[in-house]
Structure 1
Amino acid sequence: MKYKILTLGCKVNSYESQYYEEQFEKNGFIKANAKEISDIYIINTCTVTNTAASKSRQKIHLARKENPNAIVVAIGCYIQFIDKKKRQELNVDLVIGAKDKSKLVDIVMDYIQNHNPHSVLDIEEFNEFESMPIKEFESKKRAFLKIQDGCNQYCSYCAIPYARGHERCLKKEDVIEIARQLSLSHHDEIVLTGIHTGRYADGNTNLAKLLKLLLEHTDPSIHYRISSIEITEVSDELLMLMKKNPRICHHLHIPIQAACDKTLERMNRPYTIDEFKERINTIRTMIDDISISTDVITGFVQESEEEFQQTYQNLKEIGFSFLHVFPYSKRSGTEASKMDGEIDGITKKNRVNQLLKLSSELRRKDMERFDTLEVLIENHKENVYMGYSNQYHMVHIYSSKNLSGRIKVRWNEIKDNIYIVKEGSICD
């Protein structure tokens, strides 16, 4: 039988879809290409905004339309977030929420043989981390390792705590074993990921201690990167480990979401701008070659022009390496969705464009700080080799010789926020 996976949402969803694909292949199913009719459709849903929820429903509808006789499975955040009545209204054969994702293929096979339905459990029943180990990311030098799930923070705009449940983590022994398997599959860099990666905890083992164990128990050639971490989770212990060990890439992605105290308070974020700035200064004092990028939501409920200008100026002052910019999008059921004062679309678009322009300026300024780069070669096209520096800037290397692995180079120019490295600029 042929299967097709349609993925919406975040990098964690993409990771989980990769796991589903590996499990389907392991059990003898065949992956359908984009144009083929499939026997099984897996819709990996998202509920972060009303738009994401609408797209999830649309994907379900398109799958059913493409093959009315197919088995259609809706899985993930949107399914967990909506109530039982709305689930029943979806034209699907199986629904799986935030639990039993690791059993997806078994559930599908049971449905094929016995037509057994599956129930979505209440979010309060999620206590254990569901391991979803991926052995290999095909044709990629960088691998992802999901070590954490769930969120306890309850930002006012976010549905994730209701869709993924309380925080829970993968056992440290399992993290180490999966990392070993990934290294055997010729992955040179492992990215630790989760919904709240910085809150990793297994007994007395926090994120810093976990990284120390990984450095000790995996091949010395393997480097590590943290996908995203909150400012309140960047401990001195973690910074000291990053400073001392070059195998941890000197880049942190720290979401700020807004850079104005009034906006942050409405968002229910756990810091003030002064606290955020102070911690950023500490990080840079301890690791002078670190690059720090961020996420920003603009056009949040009641965001005045004055608040936006404060955010803009503070982002510029902090000097991030780049910004991921998102216009605020309402999600029904969150605290923010109950607030008055929604910002119009034109204003949001204008603010997004201003921040994207600032991001481009900030990235170039950050890139110019470095003379030499350590780059992981990830792919190539003819004589152009592409990869990212340790500080997570894109690099294009022109070379008539075959390049692979992690190499050091000197850049010649920066074009469209990409380092250009010409022939002969590779360091010995």
Structure 2
Amino acid sequence: MTDNNIFENKTAAYYTLGCKLNFAETSTIGKILEENGIRKIHPGEKADICIVNTCSVTELADKKCRQTIRRIARQHPDAFIVVTGCYAQLKPEEITHIPEVDLVLGAEQKLNILNYLGDLHKKNDGSTIITTKSNDIKSFSPSCSRGDRTRYFLKVQDGCDYFCTYCTIPFARGRSRNGSIADMVTQAKQVVANGGKEIVLTGVNIGDFGQSTNETFFDLIKALDQVTGIERYRISSIEPNLLTDEIIDYVAISHRFAPHFHIPLQSGSDEVLKLMHRRYDTALFADKIKKVKQTIPDAFIGVDLIVGVRGETEALFEEAHRFVSSLGISQLHVFTYSERPGTQALKIEHVVSPEEKHERCRRMLDISVDKLHEFYRSQQGKIRPVLFEHPKKGLPMHGFTDNYIRVELPYDKSLVNETRHVVLGDFNETGDALLCSIVN
């Protein structure tokens, strides 16, 4: 264990790439270091230590990580640089090729960072790598972060047991595990104490919550719903086969869980879903969408898609395109398939060209634009609660309704982090939000 006295008056800079789960974990690392005398740098200040929490979901993500590390090394030439996160777990040797990096920590080590910092002196003789094999990653550390806006991100689960053929997450984060419901409730109460009003439940496969504690995700949302002071919870991405009817029915009557679902589809072709080793088919997915819309007609439904995976022929893409077009959803998040070393997808023969991937992505994004505008138009004239956020300088006041419609109105400092009911009006000039007026 490090002698914490050496940390007094030291400064740190934090850089996070990738998902909201990473941001929650970086926030926890920052709290750990702050409690041990290391404060966050002020703008323009040089840091004594730089923490880079990386992503590795695509080859482009890996490239961005390397670029970010090199940029940080130039900005903070004397800093002790620690790289952690998914890229560090999957490809630690690649990171050691960047000479300025001092320490590479895997998934099991990142939240025990104090144990590995040493005296913070750069040794200039290569990076130290400390990782654990993915099968041996066992620990779960609750994390909660506040974004630049008003919502908090609460990590309730980590890891995944699904091993989809295109995905490296089980290798980067280990098997599914979670903290206890009691721990999550404690974290939510702390958010209340900090003045927070909205929490997004995040994780790798949150519907799988309970593997470590013999509890269920449904038990979790019922317990969190009893925490007074939180005005709104959002459920981040949840697998369609784990989004049960009882969860949908509960959200419909809950005063705190928002009518907002994010459900990964990944492909609208049953044959491609089989190639991906997904645990549902299009019939189940369509039934889930139908259940949500029947139970909560004004619910926002976001959907993840991957285009251009190995095995996705032109005919199968057209099948997927028709299926997605038929769904009563609100928005698509479209990702272009990126080949990842060590995945089973590399054994599939049919390869989609980069040009065709780009075209398929464009066509799915066109559907998304139409679906989003259609959903926004369906809500015009209605009254919804909005939690207003901190606007950037010179921009209008903005916030999101409970069903995730972005709204705008003239700046009013008194509205920051306050919930008001508004009447939803016309689109703004850029078409990405609705103008609104507050109901007195």
TM over 0.5: yes
- State the secondary structure of the residue aligned to 1:254: strand
Q: Residue 150 of structure 1: CA displacement? A: 0.1
Determine the structure 2 residue equivalent to 1:264.
273
Unmatched 5+ residue regions in structure 2? 1-9
Determine the structure 2 residue equivalent to 1:363.
372
Deviations 1:222-259 (A, max 9, x none): 22111111101111221221111121100000011111
Do residues 127 (structure 1) and 138 (structure 2) align? yes
Alpha-carbon distance change, 88 to 346 in structure 1, aligned in 2, over 3 angstroms:
closer
Alpha-carbon distance change, 298 to 40 in structure 1, aligned in 2, over 3 angstroms:
same
Determine the structure 1 residue equivalent to 2:120.
112
Do residues 318 (structure 1) and 314 (structure 2) align? no
Q: Residue 262 of structure 1: CA displacement? A: 1.6
Aligned counterpart for 1:142 among listed residues 146, 151, 158: 151
Do residues 215 (structure 1) and 228 (structure 2) align? no
Structure 1 letter corresponding to 2:434: Y
Instruction: Give, in whole Å, the separation in 2 of the partners of 1:351 and 1:146.
Output: 33
Aligned counterpart for 2:258 among listed residues 229, 236, 249: 249
C-alpha contact (below 8 Å) 1:363/1:417 kept by paired residues: no
Alpha-carbon distance change, 319 to 113 in structure 1, aligned in 2, over 3 angstroms:
same
Instruction: Give, in whole Å, the separation in 1 of the partners of 2:160 and 2:70.
Output: 30
Determine the structure 2 residue equivalent to 1:174.
183
Do residues 205 (structure 1) and 221 (structure 2) align? no
Q: Residue 64 of structure 1: CA displacement? A: 3.9
Alpha-carbon distance change, 344 to 402 in structure 1, aligned in 2, over 3 angstroms:
same
C-alpha contact (below 8 Å) 2:233/2:257 kept by paired residues: yes
Q: State how 1:13-412 maps to structure 2 within 5 Å.
A: 13-32=22-41, 36-67=45-76, 69-82=78-91, 86=94, 89=97, 91=99, 92-108=101-117, 110-112=118-120, 119-134=130-145, 137=146, 140-201=149-210, 203-216=213-226, 218-370=227-379, 371-380=382-391, 384-398=396-410, 402-404=414-416, 405-412=418-425
Alpha-carbon distance change, 401 to 333 in structure 1, aligned in 2, over 3 angstroms:
closer
Deviations 1:137-160 (A, max 9, x none): 276421111010000111111100
Structure 1 letter corresponding to 2:398: M
Instruction: Give, in whole Å, the separation in 2 of the partners of 1:354 and 1:95.
Output: 40
Q: State how 1:412-423 maps to structure 2 within 5 Å.
A: 412-415=425-428, 416-421=431-436
Alpha-carbon distance change, 212 to 63 in structure 1, aligned in 2, over 3 angstroms:
same
Instruction: Give, in whole Å, the separation in 2 of the partners of 1:175 and 1:99.
Output: 20
Instruction: Give, in whole Å, the separation in 2 of the partners of 1:383 and 1:57.
Output: 33
Instruction: Give, in whole Å, the separation in 1 of the partners of 2:139 and 2:131.
Output: 16
Structure 1 stretch displaced more, 402-411 or 262-271 = 402-411
Q: Residue 268 of structure 1: CA displacement? A: 1.3
C-alpha contact (below 8 Å) 2:142/2:184 kept by paired residues: no
Alpha-carbon distance change, 401 to 72 in structure 1, aligned in 2, over 3 angstroms:
closer
Alpha-carbon distance change, 176 to 221 in structure 1, aligned in 2, over 3 angstroms:
closer
Unmatched 5+ residue regions in structure 1? none
Structure 1 letter corresponding to 2:354: G
Alpha-carbon distance change, 120 to 420 in structure 1, aligned in 2, over 3 angstroms:
same
Instruction: Give, in whole Å, the separation in 1 of the partners of 2:141 and 2:27.
Output: 15
Q: CA RMSD in A?
A: 2.5
C-alpha contact (below 8 Å) 1:373/1:409 kept by paired residues: yes
Alpha-carbon distance change, 37 to 403 in structure 1, aligned in 2, over 3 angstroms:
closer
Alpha-carbon distance change, 12 to 139 in structure 1, aligned in 2, over 3 angstroms:
closer
Q: Residue 161 of structure 1: CA displacement? A: 0.4
Do residues 427 (structure 1) and 435 (structure 2) align? no
Instruction: Give, in whole Å, the separation in 2 of the partners of 1:181 and 1:274.
Output: 41
Q: Residue 112 of structure 1: CA displacement? A: 2.6
- State the secondary structure of the residue aligned to 1:38: coil
Q: Residue 221 of structure 1: CA displacement? A: 4.8
Structure 2 letter corresponding to 1:363: L
C-alpha contact (below 8 Å) 2:12/2:38 kept by paired residues: yes
Structure 2 letter corresponding to 1:8: L
Report the identity percentage. Answer: 31
Alpha-carbon distance change, 239 to 61 in structure 1, aligned in 2, over 3 angstroms:
same
Aligned length: 420
Q: Residue 18 of structure 1: CA displacement? A: 2.1
Structure 2 letter corresponding to 1:232: N
Structure 2 letter corresponding to 1:128: S
- State the secondary structure of the residue aligned to 2:272: helix
Runs of 4+ residues deviating >6 angstroms: 113-116
Instruction: Give, in whole Å, the separation in 1 of the partners of 2:409 and 2:70.
Output: 44
Structure 1 letter corresponding to 2:223: L
- State the secondary structure of the residue aligned to 1:145: strand
Structure 2 letter corresponding to 1:132: S
Alpha-carbon distance change, 329 to 118 in structure 1, aligned in 2, over 3 angstroms:
closer
Structure 2 letter corresponding to 1:213: A
- State the secondary structure of the residue aligned to 1:333: coil
